[in-house]
Amino acid sequence: MSNIKKDYEELVELRKQFSQAIEELEKNEYVEQYLDLINKETALILNEKQLYIELKMDEYVGCNHVWAEIENTDGRQGCLRCGLDESIMDRPDHGILLLELTEDERIMAAILNTGMYNKGIHVNCKCNLKEGMELFKELETNNPDTDDETLSKLFCIANEMKKRR
Ligand SMILES: [Zn+2]
């Protein structure tokens, strides 16, 4: 017998032994419960993912956006309130193939590509989006009942002061 054929037959035999051992284990009550739980968990994970997407979509669609130009981009805007970020469209595939995007960024790309969001207002200054969002949240918390127009003016002043520090 050639060596390859011998190797093959030995491998098949070994694999069959393993398959049989697995089958035997699956008859065990606890293993059965375990597999059942895994199946249920998998179904829940899928549902959870779907709901998360819907939740984020809702957040982006329903937001009264406060747009600021993002620093170091070609005039791309980001929302200081919800984080919707136009600059993800500057990735090499323009957000179309979704190759380099995280789960959250894919949801953003879907929203940006359909254009189904409120226009909102624009602030008159540039910022880093993540830092800008933190600053805006702080201003919103410290100035409740203040309209977006006023908040956006406060934001640019605070943003400028922060840069000078
Ligand atoms: Zn927004």
pLDDT in tens, the chain (165 residues): 689 999 999 999 999 999 999 999 999 999 999 999 999 999 999 999 999 999 999 999 999 999 999 999 989 999 999 999 999 888 776 556 666 788 888 899 889 888 877 789 999 999 999 999 999 999 999 999 999 999 999 999 999 998 887
For residue 130, report the distance from its CA to the centre of ligand 1, in Å.
13
For residue 134, report the distance from its CA to the centre of ligand 1, in Å.
13
pLDDT, residue 125, reads: 94
Both structure tokens of 85:
């970020």
For residue 120, report the distance from its CA to the centre of ligand 1, in Å.
8
For residue 55, report the distance from its CA to the centre of ligand 1, in Å.
14
pLDDT, residue 116, reads: 79
Task: Please provide the DSSP assignment of the chain as one string.
Answer: --HHHHHHHHHHHHHHHHHHHHHHHHTSHHHHHHHHHHHHHHHHHHHHHHHHHHHHHHHHHH---EEEEETTSSS-EEETTT--BGGGGGSTTTTTS-TT--HHHHHHHHHHHHT-S---EEEEEEE-HHHHHHHHHHHHHHSTT--HHHHHHHHHHHHHHHHH-
Strand partners, 135: none
For residue 78, report the distance from its CA to the centre of ligand 1, in Å.
8
For residue 111, report the distance from its CA to the centre of ligand 1, in Å.
11
Both structure tokens of 120:
């909102």
pLDDT, residue 97, reads: 65
pLDDT, residue 33, reads: 96
For residue 147, report the distance from its CA to the centre of ligand 1, in Å.
15
Strand partners, 68: 78
